[in-house]
Chain A
Amino acid sequence: MLQRLYIHNFKSFQNFELKTEGMHSSLLVGKNGVGKSSIAKALQVLQGIGRGVNRVGQLVSPRHFFMAQTGSPMRFELEVLLQGKLYRYSLALELPEKFKELRVLEERLELDGQPVFVREQAQVSLRKTREITGDALFMMDWHLIALPLIQVQSEIDPVHIFKTWLGQIVVIAPMPQLMTGESAEESLWPISNASNAVDWLAGLLGQYPAAYTVIDTYLKEVMPDLRDFKYESLGKESKRLVVQFQGENQFLPLYFDELSDGEKCFFLCAIIAAANRAYGPIFCFWDEPDNYLSLAEVGHFILYLRRAFEVQGQIMMTTHNEEAIRKFSNENTWLLGRKSHLEPTQLRLLGDLPSGSDVVQSLMLGELEL
């Protein structure tokens, strides 16, 4: 479970700290341009590291420095509680003069306060374990992140556990038009526009077949005429998702592509809930989940997602939709603000602000100030 995210000198963030200890679901609200989606960008940097992207230039560029302040390092820090142990990962990147690509200044992974590895520029020090006495020292290209490159010993290796969690972070801002029904591979790593949702579904059902029940149950709640869904083979390499509906005496198979944008989001919602149950805890960031949904659906959709993460995992959402806002409360709604494009993003919990009679009205009137 993510306890703390710290971002410094990246996009609109300066000394930005988000504490999410004990929060299984939370909401980010605020005006356009305050940095809600930029949190997703920061999470994607960390997710990328977990998914094996090791080249610094593939994760961030000099344009990502806050106000082009390349003179001080860009920092990312995470504190995550996994299996009762606290993982703390920090990464500092810098852009020395005449460099075109950022390089690693510091990188560190700690488990319950004890270093797993420590890195300063090119020098990496892997701390001793029961099997290895004395630190293992080695050099690494300073444009490469160490975490993806460190060989893991087993599935209980802290590096493996942390990397797996990072890689399984879900950061999505779905574009249903890009969610095709064809799957050429199985994956547990959805990409941000969710265009590989059908690959994710195939990967999930391939490894965790029981997930079908969770998905089927939810989909039949929102689409009562759904009969089932299945993959149709398109040859050796790919398959196509077919969704079948039925009436009293009628039967209608539809290709996934033929579903509406909102119906595709129902599938995505079901997959996320099933994935969190099957191989979670997952941290999920969903940018504006209410997009594409009818007004009658928004509230239940948000509540279903919140409840799906209540037992394990975490979901963070952004929204401008008042019905979505009303499905959260003061202790799990963050207000983000920024005085201008030249100033950093700030945030406060609604519960820490002077209480208004109606949060939506206060947001509409711009009455809430940080």
Chain B
Amino acid sequence: MSVNVYQPHVLVLPEDDANRQIANGFLFDASVKLRNIQVLVASGGWEKVRHSFINEHVEGLRKYPHRHLVLLIDFDGQGDARREHFLQHFPDDVVDRVFLLGTSSEPEPLRKSCGNSLEAIGKKLAAECYRDETVLWAHVLLAHNIPERQRLNAKVKSILF
């Protein structure tokens, strides 16, 4: 069956198809509990992720207190500005269950830099989460996620692994 909305679970909302493939790869690590995580349909752009979050997912987070939501976006070199742009829309009552992650530019340069598929990259990121390692997570295109990853790990590691 799909995720049980009455039990702790994680939804991933990817910005685009490339981020969806990274998220798919994350599920490929054998330690991930497939029934506790669901990757949603890609939104089609970071603005659409923000719009979807505000108009659809805030309500879902309030309705289901065991829900956690990962917004997977491209920071397009905008770093803190884009993060702030999102954070201002995170309501206080759900902010501790929403996480914003993504490459500092786009997934494609990361794929080229790693010489691997996006799926393989996602799988490696999951393995590092499981083992509390920071190798690929320290990649120049991903390192800005480290504080958010720590917050994510503290909240959802026991749900995912």
Q: Which residues of A contact B (CB under 8 A)?
A: 221-222, 224, 296-297, 299-300, 303-304, 306-307, 310, 326-332, 351, 355-359
8 closest Cβ contacts across the A-B interface?
A296-B2, A329-B21, A329-B119, A331-B117, A303-B34, A300-B34, A303-B27, A358-B17
| Other 17 A-B pairs with CB < 8 A, given A221-B1, A310-B28 | A221-B35, A296-B2, A297-B1, A297-B2, A300-B2, A304-B34, A306-B28, A327-B24, A328-B24, A329-B117, A330-B21, A330-B117, A331-B117, A331-B119, A351-B117, A358-B44, A359-B17
Complex Cα distance A329/B34, Å?
A: 17
Write out the residue numbers on chain B whose beta carbons fall within 8 Å of the beta carbon of A296: 1-2
26 pairs from A and B in contact (CB 8 Å cutoff): A224-B1, A299-B2, A300-B2, A300-B34, A300-B35, A303-B34, A306-B28, A307-B27, A310-B28, A310-B30, A326-B39, A326-B41, A328-B24, A329-B24, A329-B117, A329-B118, A330-B117, A331-B119, A332-B119, A351-B117, A355-B17, A356-B17, A357-B17, A358-B16, A358-B44, A359-B17
Q: Residues 43-72 of chain B: 1 if any A CB is under 8 Å from the residue's CB, otherwise 0?
A: 010000000000000000000000000000
Q: Is B25's CB within 8 Å of the partner chain A? A: yes
Complex Cα distance A224/B2, Å?
A: 12
Write out the residue numbers on chain B whose beta carbons fall within 8 Å of the beta carbon of A359: 17
Q: Is B38's CB within 8 Å of the partner chain A? A: yes
The count of residues in chain B whose C-beta lies closer than 8 Å to any C-beta of chain A is 21
Write out the residue numbers on chain B whose beta carbons fall within 8 Å of the beta carbon of A303: 24, 27-28, 34
> Closest residue of chain A to B2, judged by CB?
A296
* B67 shortest CB reach to chain A, Å: 16
Known: A328-B24, A329-B119. A299 touches B38 (CB 8 A): yes
Complex Cα distance A299/B37, Å?
A: 11
Write out the residue numbers on chain A whose beta carbons fall within 8 Å of the beta carbon of B44: 357-358
Complex Cα distance A356/B42, Å?
A: 13
Q: Is B124's CB within 8 Å of the partner chain A? A: no
Write out the residue numbers on chain A whose beta carbons fall within 8 Å of the beta carbon of B38: 299
Write out the residue numbers on chain A whose beta carbons fall within 8 Å of the beta carbon of B118: 329-330
Instruction: Kindly identify which residue among B25, B35, B41 contacts A329, using a CB–CB cutoff of 8 Å.
Output: B25
Write out the residue numbers on chain B whose beta carbons fall within 8 Å of the beta carbon of A355: 17
Q: Residues 1-34 of chain B: 1 if any A CB is under 8 Å from the residue's CB, otherwise 0?
A: 1100000000000001100110011011010001
